[in-house]
Amino acid sequence: MKTKFLLYLSFLIQTIGLSQITCDFFDDYSDPTDWTNVYIYPGIAPCSLDPQSGTLEVTGGQVVFTDVNDGNDTRIHRDLGITLSNDAWTANFDFKATDIGEGVTPIVGHVIFALSAGTNCPFNDSTYHCDISDQDGITVWYISEYDPVASTTGFYIYAKNGTAWVSSWGIDWVTAEVGQQYYMTLKRIATDFVTLDVYTDPDRTVLEGSIECFEIPDDVTDLNVLQHGNAPWGFYTRTLTGTLDNTCIFDNITETAYIIGPDSVCSSEIAEYSLSGGSGSIEWSLPGVVSYTEVGSNSIEITDWGGLSFVTISAEITTDCETYTITYDVYISESFTITETFNICENDTIFVFGVAVSDAGIFIDTISGIGLCDSIHTIIVNTLDTLTTAETISICINDTIFIDGAPVSDPGIYFQNYISMNGCDSIHAIIVETVDTIFTNETVTICSGQSALIFGNIETEAGDYTDFLYSLSGCDSIHTISLVIQPPVDVYFTLDTVVYDGSGVVLDPYITGTATNVSWSPNDYLSCYDCLNPTAFPAESGWYYITVTDANGCTDIDSIYILIDFDFAILAPNAFSPNGDGINDEFNIFGSGECDLIYLRIYNRWGALIFESIDINIGWDGIYNNIEQEIGTYVYLAEGNCGGETIQLTGTITLVR
pLDDT for 7: 31
Residue 19 confidence (pLDDT)? 36
The tens digit of pLDDT for each residue in 268-285 reads 889 999 988 766 788 999
Closest listed residue to residue 234, CA positions, set 170, 143, 122: 143
Dihedral class, residue 233 (left if φ above 0, else alpha if ψ from -120 to 50, else beta): beta
Side-chain-side CA neighbours of 614 within 13 Å: the count stands at 1
> Any idea where the domains of the chain sit in the sequence?
28-254, 255-333, 337-384, 387-435, 438-486, 571-657
Spatial distance between the Cα atoms of 366 and 361, rounded to a whole number of angstroms: 17
Tell me the CATH number for domain 571-657: 2.60.40
3-state per-residue secondary structure call for 242-299:
EEEEEEEEEECCEECCEEECCCEEECCCCEEEEEECCCCEEEEECCCCCEEEEECCCE
Measured over the CA atoms of residue 441, residue 445, residue 448 and residue 450, the dihedral's sign is: negative
625: pLDDT strictly greater than 80: yes
* Per-residue pLDDT, 110: 92
The CATH code of the domain at 255-333 is 2.60.40.10
Instruction: Output the pLDDT for position 60.
Output: 93
C-alpha to C-alpha distance for 648 and 642, rounded to whole angstroms:
11
Tens-digit pLDDT profile for residues 303-344: 999 989 899 999 888 877 778 788 999 998 876 778 888 888
How far from each other are the two terminal CA atoms of the chain, in whole angstroms?
A: 121
Is 399 a residue whose pLDDT tops 70? yes
pLDDT score, position 18: 37
591 or 651, higher pLDDT: 651
The pLDDT of residue 402: 82
Q: What is the pLDDT of residue 91?
A: 97
pLDDT at 15: 30
- Asked whether the predicted pLDDT for residue 455 surpasses 80, the reply is no
Confidence band, pLDDT 50/70/90 cuts, at residue 258? confident
pLDDT in tens, 356-367: 888 888 888 877
Query: Do the domains 571-657 and 255-333 match in fold?
Result: yes
Find the helix or strand (DSSP H, E) in which 9 lies: none
Instruction: Report the pLDDT value the prediction gives residue 176, as an integer from 0 to 100.
Output: 94
Comparing 9-13, 108-112, 383-387, 615-619, which segment has the lowest mean pLDDT?
Answer: 9-13
Q: Which of 44-48, 141-145, 205-209, 337-341 has the highest mean pLDDT?
A: 205-209
pLDDT for residue 381: 80
Portion of the chain with pLDDT greater than 70, in percent: 86
Q: Residue 448: pLDDT above 90?
A: no
- Predicted confidence at residue 83, as pLDDT, reads 94
Mean pLDDT, rounded, of the chain = 83
Amino acid 594: pLDDT: 73
Read out DSSP for 560-624?
EEEEE--SSEEE--SEE--SSSSSS-SB--EEESSEEEEEEEEE-TT--EEEEES-TT--B-SEE
458 pLDDT higher than 90? no
Mean pLDDT, residues 366-387: 73
> What is the predicted pLDDT for the residue at 11?
29
Q: Output DSSP code: residue 47.
A: T
Q: What is d(CA 634, CA 632) in angstroms, rounded to the nearest whole number?
A: 7
Given pLDDT bands bounded at 50, 70 and 90, which one contains residue 102? low
The per-residue pLDDT for range 155-194, each reduced to its tens digit, is 999 999 878 889 998 889 999 999 999 999 999 988 889 9
Give the model's pLDDT for residue 44: 59
Q: What is the tally of helices (H) and strands (E) in the chain? A: 0, 58
pLDDT in tens, 12-71: 333 333 333 489 999 999 999 999 999 887 665 555 556 788 899 999 999 999 999 887
Closest Cα to residue 302, out of 322, 287, 281, 316?
A: 287
pLDDT at 420 (0 to 100)? 64
Least confident piece of the model among 228-232, 318-322, 454-458, 586-590: 318-322
Q: Tell me, what's the pLDDT at 53? A: 82
Q: What is the mean pLDDT of residues 105-115?
A: 89
pLDDT of 449 strictly over 90? no
Residue 238 DSSP label: B
Q: Tell me, what's the pLDDT at 344?
A: 80
Fold assignment, 28-254: Jelly Rolls (2.60.120)
What confidence tier does 200 reach under pLDDT thresholds 50, 70, 90?
very high
- Of the pLDDT bands very low, low, confident and very high (cuts 50, 70, 90), residue 1 is very low
Q: Per residue in 463-484, pLDDT tens?
A: 888 877 666 566 767 778 888 8
Looking at residue 48, its pLDDT comes to 54
Average pLDDT over residues 125-138: 73
Mean pLDDT of 395-402: 78
pLDDT(490) > 60:
yes
Give CA–CA dist 269/332, Å, rounded.
Answer: 9
pLDDT at position 108 over 80: yes
Instruction: Look at residue 79 and tell me whether its pLDDT is greater than 80.
Output: yes
Mean pLDDT of 540-556: 85
The full DSSP string for 341-402 is: EEEEETT--EEETTEEE-S-EEEEEEE--SSSPPEEEEEEEEEEPPEEEEEEEEEETT--EE
